[in-house]
Copies of this chain bind each other. A is one copy, B any other.
């Protein structure tokens, strides 16, 4: 399945969950595409990789399609997540209720600040860096979230990999290297603003 298709599946699932909550039983590719912000043609092509084509004049069964996508994304098993870096952002992520709704359990928190270690955030006691390996392996976590300053992010990344995680989501504003068996997703909030600034400059003519 193409990486770009995989990246769009969570969006479809989000719309389907919303439809289920509203009591909707069947949906059209037009409705689903509009909710997910893609074209109907893109949606149909993506879902064809799941072997799901909908029925002419009837559309897609909301519950069945939700289950199909959940199975493909591996969401029928709860995934365990460890967060490293419990500053403002890490604190917000540790308490983010949407994670639980989407099938993820935060099972460990690690921070290097002695003032933060030992405090309780979202029901978990923050552990020191020396405990990182045990926190990951002891909890069977497979995903690590890095919310540390950029300067230490690569070291934290290496330690998470050594401890056994196979997926890393980083918010640190720098590029990270991982071995081939580990997946890396990066969110750089300031870069997102810089991309918006590019269009703002072109439109308003300021700053050039």
Contacts A187-B189, A190-B98: A75 and B197 contacting too (C-beta < 8 A)? yes
With a cutoff of 8 Å between Cβ atoms, the chain B residues found around residue A157 in the complex are none
Interface size on A, residues (CB 8 A): 70
Q: A-B pairs with the 5 shortest C-beta distances?
A: A74-B201, A77-B207, A167-B196, A10-B191, A88-B92
The CA of A102 and the CA of B37, in the complex, are separated in Å by 29
The yes or no answer to A118 lying at the interface (CB within 8 A) is: no
With a cutoff of 8 Å between Cβ atoms, the chain B residues found around residue A76 in the complex are 207-208
**What's the number of copies of this chain in the assembled complex?**
2
- A171 CB to closest chain B CB (Å) equals 9
Q: Which of A104-124 contact B (CB under 8 A)?
A: 104
* A73:B9 contact, CB within 8 angstroms: no
With a cutoff of 8 Å between Cβ atoms, the chain B residues found around residue A6 in the complex are 195, 198
